[in-house]
Amino acid sequence: MHEVDSEHSKAELLFPCPLCSLVCSSPVILQEHVELHLQGHLSDQGERRFECPMCSTVCSDSFSLQEHVELHLNQSSDPDPDLKLALQLQQKEELRRQQEEVQQEEEEFKKLQRQFGLAGEGGYRRQTERSMEKAVAQGLLTPADFHWKRAEMMESLASGVDDGATRSQDKVVPCIPRIQSMIEEAWKEGLDPQGASHFNQRLQGTRAWIGATEIYVLLTSLGISSRIIDFHKPTGTADTHPLLFDWVKQYFCQTSRSSRLPNKIIQTGLPPLYLQHQGHSRSVVGFEQKKNGSFCLLLLDPGSSMSDIRKLLSRDTWTTAVRLIRKFPRNLKHRQYQLVSVQGVLSAEDKQIKILSSSTLRAERIP
């Protein structure tokens, strides 16, 4: 009796094709098989007919016919329990995999936000507070001065008046919040829409990096012509960038007839170069060529202490202080560097051309 029931149970798990003598082991295989029949189902006149092979119903198209046949199959038999369990496990595994992918993408996105200063960890105000707190801890600032400077900063931010706290004593140089505001205004003019979208049209109050592209946008908005040169990979031994040094040499030698620097200091009217690498930017204010032919850049770092800057400005100490700003090829070993060079003043027409062309803003790549 048990063996008869077992054979009867196995017979119930077979799914015969309604169009031919083939017997399938599962409804999924049967469905795929019937679809092959449907693809080749033609009328006597050679025209496609969407007629159900199980009840002779004619459908309007192949999609409607497929849904109709699936209703027949679902009503005629119950799915194999083992197949149903396998499908459920497969769906669970697919869902787990999708959740892991989403989680991994979120973690990568947060990592990029932290890397580029877009993680909402505090902008100029919080950075300034931390700097002053550090100064108090080191005994460089009294608690009373801390509270006074903090109140002054909050008043300046609330009023929008540039207090000059983050700029040098050259009165025409704006502070960091003002530079952020000016870049946002440049985006509104239509400059670099892709970059603006990357920052969600907002820089003020964030710790987002101001890189070579944003400097180019700012200069263009001010009517100043500039270029971005991208040294996107090392071109020398030990991950150095000799082509970058060659380019800077040619820049500072452009007013000289000789490709070799003269054996004395030459002061030019050429603007400094903006040098950007991951996480930091500096100004190239000069170039040196040693007697043995080796080169070095003279880099001013905004992170330098005021005491080091004063040594450079003093005739008594500048000869020793200049060693702090000399950078040889072995000192510049980041993977990528970008330079921004100023070329001149833009006419109103040229500025509009620059704005239109910035929709696909690309740097000049070397090599």
Q: Name the pTM for this structure.
A: 0.60
Task: Summarize pLDDT for 181-239 with one digit per residue, the tens.
Answer: 999 999 999 999 999 998 899 998 787 888 999 999 999 999 999 999 999 999 999 99
Cis peptide leading into residue 143 (ω within 30°): no
Whether 308 and 314 have beta carbons less than 8 Å apart is answered as: no
**pLDDT in the model for residue 212:** 94
C-alpha to C-alpha distance for 95 and 84, rounded to whole angstroms: 16
Task: Summarize pLDDT for 157-179 with one digit per residue, the tens.
Answer: 665 555 555 555 575 678 788 89
C-alpha to C-alpha distance for 46 and 66, rounded to whole angstroms: 20
Closest Cα to residue 354, out of 230, 229, 214, 225? Answer: 225
Q: What angle do CA 325, 327, 328 make, to 5 degrees?
A: 155
**pLDDT in the model for residue 181:** 92
Helices 27-39 and 62-76: angle between axes, nearest 10 degrees: 150
Q: Is the pLDDT of residue 78 over 70?
A: no
> What tokens appear for 85 in the block?
């369990």
Task: Summarize pLDDT for 81-122 with one digit per residue, the tens.
Answer: 666 676 677 778 778 888 888 788 778 767 666 655 555 555
Residue that wins the pLDDT comparison between 156 and 131? 131
Residue 137 C-alpha from the chain's centroid: 36
Banded pLDDT at 144 (limits 50, 70, 90): confident
Residue 125 C-alpha from the chain's centroid: 25
The distance in angstroms from the start CA to the end CA of the chain is: 84
**pLDDT in the model for residue 321:** 87
Q: What is the DSSP letter of 331?
A: G
How many Cα atoms are found within 13 Å in the side-chain-facing hemisphere of 121? 13
